[in-house]
Amino acid sequence: MRGIQLSFNKTQKLRLDKALEQLEYFSSKLNSNAIVTVSDTIPVNHEDGVLKGHGTMELEGEVVATLCGVVERVNKLVYVRPFRARYKPEIGDIIVGRVIEVAPKRWRLEINFSQDAVLMLSSMNLPDGIQRRRTAVDELNMRTIFEEYDVICAEVRGFQHDGCLHLQARSQKYGKLERGQLLTISPYLVKRQKQHFHHIDQYGIDLILGCNGFIWVGEHVEVKDDMIEDQTNKSEQQNNKLSGLASHQNQEHNYTPLELRQYICRAANAVRVLSTLGFMITVDKIMDAVEMSTSKNLNIHEMLGAEFYVLVAEREAERRSSSSKKR
C-alpha cells in the first residue's frame, strides 16, 4: 500500500481492509467509470463539438487522455483532473511557501510548482504599515522581513508576461509563520474553499491549509491592524529595542507553552495520518482525529502507530456511510 510502511498485525490488517472496502463501496456508488489512464480514449460526442482541456490531446480524431485521473466535463469542455501531480496555481489561491532565495527586490519561494514563485518587495505590506515607495534602504533591509528558509503565507497574484508566478501579501494575515510545523502533502488532498485560515479556539492553534499542499500548524497569532495600533505602540517598541535586557525578557515570555506545543504536534500528526491514508484534508477531520487521540488517551507518538491508522480509517468509513444515508 502506498506510503504506509507500518507493520499491522492480523486483526488490524483485516479491520483496515474492511474500512477501505467500505470506502470503495461508497465512492463506486457516486462515480461512474470516469477514471482514465495515460493514452485512454475519452468517449465524446463529436456532433456537439468538443473543447479539449488540460490532460487531453487529439489523436486520429479521438480525444485521448495524457494523464491518469478523472474525466470532468463542463458543457463542451472535456478535461482530465489528475490526482498526484504538482500544484497548479490559480489566481487568489492561498498558499504556504518557503523562501529559498533573497534576490534584488524579490524573494523566491518554493511552493511545489514547476517553477519557483516570486514575491516582490513592492507587492507586500511593509512591517511599519505605511504605504510608500520602496527605497533602496528597504531593499537592503529585506532580510529583516523574510530570510532564507522562512515559511511564508501569501496569495497567488498571477502570471507575469514571462510566465513567472507572482505572489502578494497585502494583508496582515499573510506573512511570516513562526512557532509551528510545516507539513507537505499532495495538493489534490486540499480542496479550494472560502476559508483556508482556521483558528482552533479550543486548543489555541492556527491551521493554514495552503492550496499547494503545504499545511501550517502553529501557535495562534492575533491578527492586529497595525495602522491603528502602530501609533500607540511605536514608542513602546522603540524603547524595547533600545534596551536589550527588556527584549530578552520579552522573548522568554514569548515561549510557546508545553501544552500548546503538544496540541500542535497532535494536529500535525493527524494531518500526517490522514494524508498517508489518502483522505481529503479538512479542518473537521483533523480536529476529529485529534479529539479521538485524546479521548483514547494516546500519546503523541502513538498517533503514528498502526492502531491509530486503523481507527482513522474506520472513522472515515463511518462518516461516509452516515453522509450517504442522509442523501
SS3 string, 230-268, reads HHHHHHHHHHHHHCHHHHHHHHHHCCCCHHHHHHHHHHH
Of the two residues 50 and 85, which places its CB atom closer to another protein in the complex? Answer: 85
Return the number of the residue (73 or 86) whose C-beta is nearest another protein.
Answer: 86
Provide the minimum distance between the beta carbon of 226 and another protein in the complex, in angstroms, as a whole number: 33
Query: For residues 41 and 64, is the Cβ–Cβ distance under 8 A?
Result: yes
Closer to another protein at the Cβ: 157 or 285? Answer: 285
Q: Tell me whether residue 27 or residue 141 sits nearer to another protein (CB atom).
A: 27
Q: How far is CA 147 from CA 32, 43, 169, in A?
A: 49, 51, 16
The nearest distance, CB 165 to another protein, in angstroms, is 11
Q: 217 with 210: CB under 8 angstroms? A: no
- Which residues contact another protein (rule: CB under 8 A)? 2-3, 20, 23-24, 26-28, 30-31, 35-40, 55, 57, 59, 64, 66-70, 82-86, 110, 114-116, 163, 188-189, 277-280, 316, 320
Which triple of cell numbers denotes residue 194? 472560502
Beta carbon of residue 168, minimum distance to another protein (angstroms, whole number): 20
Side chain identity at 56, as an amino acid letter? T
Nearer to another protein, 32 or 75 (CB): 32
- Rounded Cα distance between 17 and 191, Å, is 26
Q: Please, what is the minimum distance in Å from the beta carbon of residue 223 to another protein?
A: 32
Burial (CB < 10 A; 0-12, 13-18, 19+), residue 226, is middle
Least Å distance, CB 277 to another protein, is 7
| Matching residue, cell 501544552 | 259
